[in-house]
């Protein structure tokens, strides 16, 4: 593991269950908010007049921005692995990508990154 990376590791099975419970609550809240935005968007699209259909309304743009912000917040959080969306395991923060990965994805991505660096070095 590189120096600026942070592994949050739990060994106690009870603590792991508590962590999973919190992550499930946060994920449910994320889904609830996303569904509310999708409903709002759907309602807005349905109420567009014929002449509005070819353009993006300011309210529509606002909803798209809110959906993107919500998705970005989730993928940047420790709740899910940014690669495989795991919510159960220990997660590692990577300073390079500024996101959290599960240990398995982190190892795969690090190995891949190291191979890419080696390949680039051979090109020079």
Among 86, 90, 91, 94, binds Zn ion (CB under 5 A): 86
Among 1, 84, 114, 117, binds Zn ion (CB under 5 A): 84
Sign for the pseudo-dihedral over CA of 64, 70, 76, 81: negative
Which residues from 103-122 bind Zn ion, rule CB under 5 A?
A: 105
Spatial neighbors of 66 by CB under 8 A, at least 6 apart, are 37
Instruction: Work out how close the CB of 46 gets to Zn ion at its nearest, in angstroms, rounded to a whole number.
Output: 37
Dmax over CA atoms of the chain, in Å, equals: 60
Q: How far apart are CA 74 and CA 15, in angstroms?
A: 22
Residue 63 vs 89, nearer CB to Zn ion: 89
List interacting residues with Zn ion (CB under 5 A): 81, 83-84, 86, 102, 105
């Amino acid at each position: 593991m590189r120096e600026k990376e942070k592994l949050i590791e739990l060994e106690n099975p009870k603590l792991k269950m508590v962590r999973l419970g919190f992550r499930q609550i946060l994920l449910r809240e994320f889904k609830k908010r996303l569904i509310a935005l999708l409903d709002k968007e759907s309602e807005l699209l349905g109420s567009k007049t014929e002449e509005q259909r070819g353009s993006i309304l300011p309210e529509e743009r606002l909803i798209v921005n809110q959906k993107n912000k919500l998705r970005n917040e989730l993928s940047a959080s420790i709740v899910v692995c940014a690669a495989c969306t795991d919510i159960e395991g220990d997660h590692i923060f990577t300073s390079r990508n500024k996101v959290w990965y599960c240990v398995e994805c982190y190892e795969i991505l690090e190995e891949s990154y190291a191979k890419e660096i080696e390949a680039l070095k051979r090109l020079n």
